[in-house]
A and B are shown apart, each in its own frame.
Chain A
Amino acid sequence: MSLDISFIGILIGSIMASSVPLILAASGELITERSGVLNLGVEGMMIIGAISGFALMVITDNLFIAIVGSMLSGVIISLIFGFLTQSLLTNHVATGLALTIFGIGLSAMLGKNFVGIPGKEFPILFSSLRENIPFFGPILFGHSIVLYFAFALPFLTNYFLKKTKLGLIVRAVGDSPVSASNQGINVILVRYCCILYGGAMCGLAGAYLSLIYTPQWIENMTAGRGWIALALVVFATWSPIKVLIGALIFGGITILQLHMQAIGFRIPVQFLSALPYLMTIIVLVVISRDSRKIKLNTPTSLGRIFYKEK
C-alpha cells in the first residue's frame, strides 16, 4: 500500500465525509439539550429526513427542494415531540424513544414506493481543484455544500451560545427555567424553537445520507447513527467544538480500521470494530475532564419538565 502524502489527503477527505451526519445531528441535538430538553428521537428524525429528502428528490427532481424539504420534515416531526413534552408535559425520555420508533416505522411505510430507485448525483464544489492540488485538494475541495455547512456549524453554534443574547437566553432556559421565566422569558417558546431547530438539523443529517453519502433510499439506512450522535453530545459535555472533535474521531477510526483490515494488520478484527466507540469515549473523557468546565456547559435542568404556574 502507498502511504504517500496524497493518499493521506484522500483518507482525511473520506473521514470528513463520513462524520457529516454525526456533526449535523449532534449539533442540532446540542442546542435542544442546552435549552433543557432531552430529545432521544434523533434517530427517528434522521430517518424521516432521509426518506423525505429522497422522496422529494424523486418527485420534484430538484435537489434544493429535497434538502429544504428534509429539514422541514424534521421540523414537523419534532413539533410532535415539542407539543407532547412542552404543551402536554409528557416525559422527555419516553416521548423521545417513541419518536424514534415512530420515525423508523413511518419512514418504512412512506418509503415503500421509493425502494430500488437509484439516486441522483449531488453536485460537488471545486472538483477540478480537488484533482489538481495534492494532499490539500481532496481535503478542502470536491465536497458537497452540506459538508461545508456541517463543518462551519459547530463554530457557529459555539458563537451563538457564547456571544449572542439569544444564546444566553437558551442557556438560561436550560439551566434554570424558573428564574428565566421570572425574568420574563417565555421558556416554553424558547424550548419549542430549540426542539424545532434540532429537528431541522437531524432531518438534514438524514438527507445527507440518502441524497449525498449513499444516494438511495433503503429502510433503516441511518443504522444507529442517531444514537451515536446522542452519545457524542453527552461525551462532548455539551460543547460544540468537542462534538466536532468527537465526530471526526469516530468517523476517522471507523475508516482507519477498515483500512487496517484491508492492509492486513494482525489485530483481531472484533477489536478493530469496537475501536471507534472506545476511542471516541476515551478521548472525549480525557479532553473534558475539567469538572468546572463540565458544570459550566451542562444544562442543569436537562430532561426536567417545566410548567408555568398560573
Chain B
Amino acid sequence: MYKNFFRYLISAIFLLGFSVNSNTDFKVGFVYVGPTGDHGWTFQHHEGRNAVEAAGIKTTFVESVPEGADAERVIRQLAQSGHDLIFTTSFGYMDPTNKVAKDFPNVKFEHATGYKREHSNVSTYSARFYEGRTILGHIAGKMTKTNTIGYIASFPIPEVIRGINAMTLAAQKVNPNIKTKIVWVFTWYDPGKEAEAAQALIDQGADVIMQHTDSTAPVQTAEKAGVWSFGQASDMQRFAPKSILTSIIDDWAPYYVERAIAARDGTWNQQDTWHGLKEGMVAMGPYNSAMGADLVKEVEQLQKDLASGKVHSFTGPIYDQKGNILVAEGKVADDGMLAGMSVYVKGVEGDIPK
C-alpha cells in the first residue's frame, strides 16, 4: 500500500513540476486584504482585476489575506507559481512585498498606498483620496445642523490622517464652528463594530457620518438613524438611498490594465503613481438631491477645480493642533509632506493613537 502511495506521490510531484514549467503564459496576481464581496475597498480592486481579465490577460487573486507574516507567504507563493506581475493592495503589505521582491528580481510588484520601493522591481501607486475628502468636508460643513461631524477611522497611518485633515480643513472653510469627532476601530473590516462606532458618534450628536473603513455598515446605521453619510471606496448609494450624499469611488481599472499591458510588453518600469480626480483614479458618486441645487452646483465646481489644480486640498495657512504653522499662507503642501502626514490640523479633537 505504501509503495503505491509513494508511486502516486512521485508522479504527482512530476506532474506539478511539469505544469509549472510548461506555464509560460503571462499571469497577473492580486492580493486582497478583505473579501471581494466587501462592497468597498477590495471590491473596487477586484473590479480592476476584472478589467485586466477583460483585456485578455490571465489573472488570479487571493482574498482576505491578513497583513503581516501571512501576507509574505501568499505573495511568495504567487511569485513562485509563475506570476509575472503582482498587485498587493493594502498598506500593511509594504514590507512583505519588498522582502519577496528582493528574492524574485524577474517578477514585477505593485504595492498600493505604500512608499517603500527598495528594489527596482517594486512600484507603488495610490490615489489622492484626500481630494474626495475635501468635497465631503465641504458638503458636511454645509449640511450639519449640530456642527458635529463623526469620523470612523481605521488605523493611524498617514493615509487615514490625511483624509481626516483634508475633510476638516474643507468643512472649516464653509463652517468655522465645525467639530470633528473621531473613533478609531482598529480594523479595516468588521461590519458590527463599524455599525457600533457609527451609532456611538450619532448618539454623541454627530449628524454627518463618514468612515475610512471598508464595509457598508456605517451608511446603513446612518440611514436608520436619519443622519447624513458618505459612501467609501465604491458607490454605496443603494444601501442608504436617503442618507448618502455622495461616495468617494476608487477606480483602479485603467491603471491596472495599463500596468499589466506594460509588464506583458516589456515596457514596465519602476514608478510612484499618485493619481486623483484629474486622472479619474478618484471619482465621485452621484450627488444626493437632498443637498439642494445650489450646494450641488458648488461642489461640482469644487470637483472641477480640484481636478484642474486650481484648488488644492491643503492650501495654507494650515496650523497643527498646537497652533504651529504647517503650511505657510499662499503655499500648498507638497507630496512629501502629504505622504508622511502624522499630525492633526487645528480643529480636530483628540490625539492620534501612537
Contacts and interface: CB of A to CB of B under 8 A. Distances in A.
Contacts of A220: 34-35, 64, 189
Contacts, number: 114
Nearest to A268: B353
Contact of A111 (B37, B189, B196): B37
Given A214-B192, A219-B64, A221-B191, A118 B239 contact: yes
Contact of A259 (B35, B203, B221): B203
Contact of B186 (A10, A14, A112, A270): A270
Given A213-B195, A219-B37, A273-B184, A1 B204 contact: yes
Interface residues of A, number: 41
A111 B43 CA distance: 14
B118 interface: no
Of residues B186, B197, B200, B205, which shows the largest number of chain A Cβ atoms within 10 Å of its Cβ? Answer: B200
A83 to B, nearest CB: 27
A143 to B, nearest CB: 13
B220 A215 contact: yes
Contacts of B181: 262, 264
A31 to B, nearest CB: 24
Nearest to A271: B353
Contacts of A259: 200, 203-204
Most chain B CB within a 10 A radius of its CB, from A2, A214, A215: A214
A4 B132 CA distance: 37
B38 A218 contact: yes
Q: Could you say which of A21, A119, A259 has the most chain B C-beta atoms within 10 Å of its C-beta?
A: A259
A112 B196 contact: no
B304 interface: no
B204 to A, nearest CB: 4
Contacts of B196: 14, 18, 254-255, 258
B90 interface: no
Contacts of B37: 108, 111-112, 115-116, 217-219
A116 B46 CA distance: 14
Interface in B11-32: none
A209 interface: yes
A254 B195 CA distance: 12
Given A218-B39, A220-B64, A261-B184, A11 B220 contact: no
Contacts of A225: 192
Nearest to B223: A118
Interface in A17-50: 18, 21
B144 to A, nearest CB: 15
A300 interface: no
Interface string B179-201: 00111111101111101110111
A78 to B, nearest CB: 23
A18 B190 CA distance: 13
Nearest to A220: B35
B75 to A, nearest CB: 21
Nearest to A255: B196
Contacts of A258: 183, 185, 196-197, 200-201
A209 B203 CA distance: 21
A255 B202 CA distance: 12
B298 to A, nearest CB: 29
Contacts of B205: 1-2
A212 B48 CA distance: 32
A215 B238 CA distance: 13
Contacts of A1: 204-205
A266 B195 contact: no
A106 to B, nearest CB: 14
Most chain A beta-carbon neighbours within 10 Å: one of B183, B189, B349: B183
A59 interface: no
Given A259-B204, A262-B150, A209 B353 contact: no
Interface of A: 1-2, 7, 10-11, 14, 18, 21, 108, 111-112, 115-116, 118-119, 209, 213-221, 223-225, 254-255, 258-259, 261-264, 266, 268-270, 273
25 contacts: A14-B199, A18-B192, A115-B37, A115-B43, A118-B220, A118-B239, A214-B195, A214-B220, A216-B220, A217-B37, A218-B35, A219-B34, A220-B64, A221-B192, A255-B196, A258-B183, A258-B201, A259-B200, A259-B203, A261-B200, A262-B183, A262-B200, A262-B201, A263-B204, A264-B181
6 pairs of A and B residues whose beta carbons are closest in the complex: A219-B35, A115-B37, A258-B200, A269-B353, A223-B190, A262-B204
